[in-house]
Amino acid sequence: MDANITTFRQLYYVCKSQNKKIYEAAIDYEVSLGEYSEEQIRMQAEKSLSAMKDAIKTGMNSVEKSPSGMSGDDCDKLQKSFARNSSLYSKTVQKIMTYALATSEQNLRMGTIAACPTAGSCGIVPAVLIAFAQDNNISENEQVNALITAGEVGKLVANKMALAGAVGGCQAECGVASAMASAALTQMRGGDIKQILNSVALALKNILGLTCDPVCGLVEIPCVKRNPFLAVHAVTASELAMAGIISKIPLDEVVDAMEQTGKLMSPLLKESSQGGLAKTKTAIILEKNILK
């Protein structure tokens, strides 16, 4: 039976010693538990990938507002802007931004999404993975591999801390989603195990301390627009790692620092909507209007 991998250091040595990719090591362990076959594991990942693609497609074609009326048409605005104006970003990054908004807006409309790793951060992994795959002829099989790799990253971080804004702030939601996306992207770009794990470390260490302070207690402000920001963050982490830039702090230690940061963060800034953006003058007015 394959040993349970609980740290990124263990993951690295298993992959190196057995000449395996991250997704192969992850699948092997799950199969060793005896509950699911490799085919069943891949089918479940395919189901999640399909849900991600459906959310993007639906979200890209909708301007339906959320029940609060505060959000819902930002993806449409961004698409129209990219169509009219020149952009500093490549077509792929433009897609990533719009896909992240489309998915996040589908979540607030109560549409079907894949929480990856959470509902509030649901647009980041799909946007990066699917936009890059579409523009670079990445096969469905390779997309599934990338998604499983992203899942393994999320799982190992979750071994240390809960992936919830109420526990660790948004660094534990959008931050971890960005790290997962960077791993998937770096793998699809042909990165090796070191580059993949460095991309994860770079993504995480540069988002430490991100608070969770949703206006009106809803997963809308700043959550919706945080998805495209953190999707681009994932691209940056991948670019740096693919260039051979490394994180001087080992990945497991970065995760330890994230856990500590979450514990030190005030409860007022961890999903309680009792501080930060949630208690600005405008946020208080919005809350009063919504609760009328």
The CATH code of the domain that includes 199 is 1.10.4100
Over 60: is that where the pLDDT of 1 sits? no
With cut-offs at 50, 70 and 90, classify the pLDDT of residue 291.
confident
Q: Name the token pair of 5.
A: 């991998």
Domain assignment of residue 3, yes or no: no
Number of folded domains that form the chain:
1
C-alpha of 131 from chain center: 14
Residue 67: which domain range? 8-290
Per residue in 72-125, pLDDT (tens digit) is 999 999 999 999 999 999 999 999 999 999 999 999 999 999 999 999 999 999
Over 50: is that where the pLDDT of 197 sits? yes
Distance separating alpha carbons of residues 292 and 289, to the nearest angstrom = 5
Per residue in 133-185, pLDDT (tens digit) is 999 999 999 999 999 999 999 999 999 999 999 999 999 999 999 999 999 99
Domain assignment of residue 1, yes or no: no
DSSP H helix total and E strand total for the chain: 13, 0
Domain assignment of residue 192, yes or no: yes
Domain assignment of residue 258, yes or no: yes
Q: Name the token pair of 150.
A: 């992203």
Alpha-carbon distance values, 55 to 33, 104, 110, 230, 234 (Å): 32, 9, 11, 18, 20
Write the single-letter amino acid at 52: M
- The span from the first CA to the last CA of the chain, in angstroms, equals 59
Which of 51, 100, 109 minimizes the C-alpha distance to 227?
Answer: 100
Over 60: is that where the pLDDT of 268 sits? yes
Beta bridge partners of 270: 212
Write the single-letter amino acid at 96: I
Instruction: Look at residue 4 in the predicted model and tell me its pLDDT.
Output: 85
Q: Are 178 and 248 in contact (CB under 8 A)?
A: no
* 0.95 surpassed by pTM: yes
Instruction: Look at residue 2 in the predicted model and tell me its pLDDT.
Output: 56
Q: Are 276 and 268 in contact (CB under 8 A)?
A: yes
Over 50: is that where the pLDDT of 36 sits? yes
Domain assignment of residue 2, yes or no: no
Domain assignment of residue 198, yes or no: yes
Over 80: is that where the pLDDT of 233 sits? yes
Q: Name the token pair of 74.
A: 């930002």
Alpha-carbon distance values, 161 to 24, 122, 191, 223 (Å): 24, 19, 27, 20
- The mean pLDDT of the chain is 96
Distance separating alpha carbons of residues 249 and 174, to the nearest angstrom = 21
With cut-offs at 50, 70 and 90, classify the pLDDT of residue 290.
confident
Domain assignment of residue 105, yes or no: yes
Which of 105, 201, 107, 100 minimizes the C-alpha distance to 156?
Answer: 201
Over 80: is that where the pLDDT of 242 sits? yes
Domain assignment of residue 170, yes or no: yes
Over 80: is that where the pLDDT of 65 sits? yes
Alpha-carbon distance values, 181 to 16, 34, 134, 138, 273 (Å): 22, 28, 15, 15, 27
Instruction: Look at residue 208 in the predicted model and tell me its pLDDT.
Output: 98
